[in-house]
Amino acid sequence: DIQMTQSPSSLSASVGDRVTITCQASQDISNYLNWYQQKPGKAPKLLIYDASNLETGVPSRFSGGGSGTDFTFTISSLQPEDIATYYCQQYDNLLSFTFGPGTKVDIK
């Protein structure tokens, strides 16, 4: 099974800061990597698909990159409404899906 790691597990930043989260896969997953935002008590929401594509309606301050085993997720200018936990998620050709452990983002 493919394992996913994320770092950091949590971070605190100021409004307007650039925030970057990394996600690493235990083997090459090409660009089969998505990013989700989950606010407390809510279902997750898709932000980025196929590593770098912004889902329709998602603000452009969110972006993603990477391929193979190493991926990044960036918020270019942190806003108060971005307080949430962010998860990466991989899928493979055998229809197996794995989430990363999550990164909790807070305002300093």
Partner 1 sequence: EVQLVQSGAEVKKPGATVKISCEVSGYPLTDYYLHWVQQAPGKGLEWMGLVDPEDGEPMYAEKFLGRVTIVADTSTDTAYMDLSSLRSEDTAVYYCATSPKIHPVFDHWGQGTLVTVSS
Closest CA to 36 of 73, 79, 71: 73
Interface segment toward partner 1; rule CB under 8 A; list 19-27, 31-39, 66-74, 76-84 = 31-39
Q: Does 1 bind partner 1 (CB under 8 A)?
A: yes
> Applying CB under 8 A, does 96 fall inside the site for partner 1?
yes
Main-chain phi, psi angles of 54, to 5 degrees: -80, 125
Query: What whole-number distance in Å separates Cα of residue 5 and Cα of residue 100?
Result: 5
54 lies in the binding site for partner 1 (CB under 8 A): no
The answer to whether 95 contacts partner 1 (rule: CB under 8 A) is yes
> Which of 36, 62, 71, 73 touches partner 1 (CB under 8 A)?
36
Neighbouring-strand partners of residue 4: 25
